[in-house]
Chains A and B, each alone.
Chain A
């Protein structure tokens, strides 16, 4: 009967109920979108690095965080030095230049890259032939409406699009290394070196050798390096997520508070009737809390549905710049946050309803 009372109340004020659910759902979507973007972009970067096919990565001495790249701080001659080490099958240097973050242009020796990774898969066009040629991946081409053969102005330089490649191998934008070094005034310098070994069993041995040889340069196996792509390694992202979640709680509490306060006002007479029938304070409070909980559940479900909408929008509008994952692990967390906010928001209106004087409530017009 309690459930029926609550459901009938929700059904009889459909606009208020839907508006409350919508307003609760928005912060849920915000939280899930932020978490999804963080995860999605990490997974995308991880996949891009794994797509290189390397066993080891050597980064520049000026690198500032565990997963970032440095500027061009590695002398190009180091590639040959690494190549000469025992059990090293292939070493390949690359250089990166940030354009509009989080996008990079990567300069590479395409022949070595092909040897290491098996090469790009071309949707259209073919490999780099000249110094001003550029390859763009399918996502960048879609986001920027780039076509094969067109001129692309990046870094104040005109590039000719010679190929559209499948995403997932190192970079979205690829040019010849020498051109990028010249544009960056970094001739003879590299951002990182990728290494493959002759046998998997020699991997740790080679890593140790390289660490001994290149004391100031972080040397990691690719497995270790890509495993570091997690939320805890991104400065301030956890705190940012907590702030967004806290904003979600505040909005949730405020929405439910206002909504349930209105409910209690609108139903003053009904509360008086229930009290005249002998309903206890706990019964009245339970009705309000259950109704708020249902609004919270509705808001959570709507927020989850909206997060799929946000993912679709991001995929449609900015597929190259941002990737959003649906992080199922956050569904129960966000539900707990929302329900806690809903119950907190309903507590004061619920208690004031429970404390109402039945005679005054029955006289309420």
Chain B
């Protein structure tokens, strides 16, 4: 094991039971991610990208193998333990933004801060992050009054408001046009460069993947290749 890695995965397997059939989603994944790394994960549908993402994010337990995130062994955590881990260790950004539609952008960010037990008001330093994301003037609007790009930037703000060790972005540009996609990817790269935020990003788009330091290729539940980006 690499002791400095923020994510350490060995022989990770995940099997879903669908009806009476066992469906293997991950068939032995090994992966290390260093703090401050921006890693892209690419692969065809059904290759296991999302399952890997869900296990690292503590949304589902592994079937076998070892997964350590920020030093915590996820296989040893109960459901409640994984719930607690999600509050501060990881932040999620989804393809469909997944903002709470009844709350303003400000409250969508505040609710994550509140659930983490940190109160409803992020500290003043976070205002700088909001300016970096370009949403400081849009915070009192509800999601239906925001563009897709703005919604995704609010989702990013929500994901990092608790200063998580890892930001997990699942197809963050999948629902955006190229202009907004670029803006969101720039934001992710900025966060990584300026704040040292570790980012794992699933994408189908090779151009988007190129924003990361390295790219992991998955197929049939396995990592088949890891390449460094030359940019």
Contact = CB atoms under 8 A, between A and B. Distances in A.
Interface of A: 1-2, 4-5, 8-9, 11-12, 269-270, 272-281, 283, 357-359, 362
A5 B103 contact: yes
Given A276-B86, A278-B83, A4 B59 contact: no
B81 to A, nearest CB: 11
Given A1-B111, A358-B59, A276 B102 contact: no
A272 B84 CA distance: 15
Interface in B89-129: 92, 94, 98-103, 107, 110-112, 114-116, 120
Among A278, A279, A281, A359, max chain B CB count under 10 A is at: A278
A278 B98 contact: no
Contacts of B99: 273
13 contacts: A1-B114, A4-B103, A270-B101, A273-B98, A275-B86, A276-B86, A278-B83, A279-B83, A279-B115, A281-B83, A283-B115, A357-B60, A359-B60
A147 B150 CA distance: 76
Interface in B142-158: 158
A11 B102 contact: yes
B87 interface: yes
A272 B94 CA distance: 12
A281 B158 CA distance: 21
Contacts of A357: 60
Contact of A278 (B54, B86, B103, B107): B86
Contact of A12 (B57, B102, B120, B158): B102
A276 to B, nearest CB: 5
B94 A362 contact: yes
Given A276-B92, A278-B85, 17 more contacts: A1-B111, A1-B120, A4-B107, A5-B102, A12-B101, A273-B98, A273-B99, A275-B83, A276-B59, A276-B86, A276-B98, A277-B86, A277-B158, A278-B83, A278-B84, A278-B88, A283-B115
How many chain B residues sit at the interface, stated as a range, is: 20 to 34
B1 interface: no
Interface string B183-198: 0000000000000000
Nearest to B97: A273
B82 to A, nearest CB: 9
Contacts of B100: 5, 270, 273-274
B21 interface: no
Nearest to A269: B98
B80 interface: yes
Contact of B112 (A5, A275, A277, A362): A277
Contacts, number: 67
B102 A1 contact: no
Interface of B: 54, 57, 59-60, 80, 83-88, 92, 94, 98-103, 107, 110-112, 114-116, 120, 158
A252 B14 CA distance: 45
A9 B115 contact: no
Nearest to A280: B83
Given A1-B110, A270-B101, A277 B60 contact: no
Closest 7 CB pairs of A and B: A278-B87, A8-B102, A278-B86, A1-B114, A12-B102, A277-B112, A273-B98
Given A274-B115, A278-B87, A362 B103 contact: no
Nearest to B155: A273
Nearest to A283: B115
Contact of A277 (B87, B101, B102, B120): B87
B140 to A, nearest CB: 14
Given A8-B103, A270-B100, A277 B54 contact: no
A1 to B, nearest CB: 4
B118 to A, nearest CB: 11
Contacts of A269: 98
B120 to A, nearest CB: 5
A278 to B, nearest CB: 3
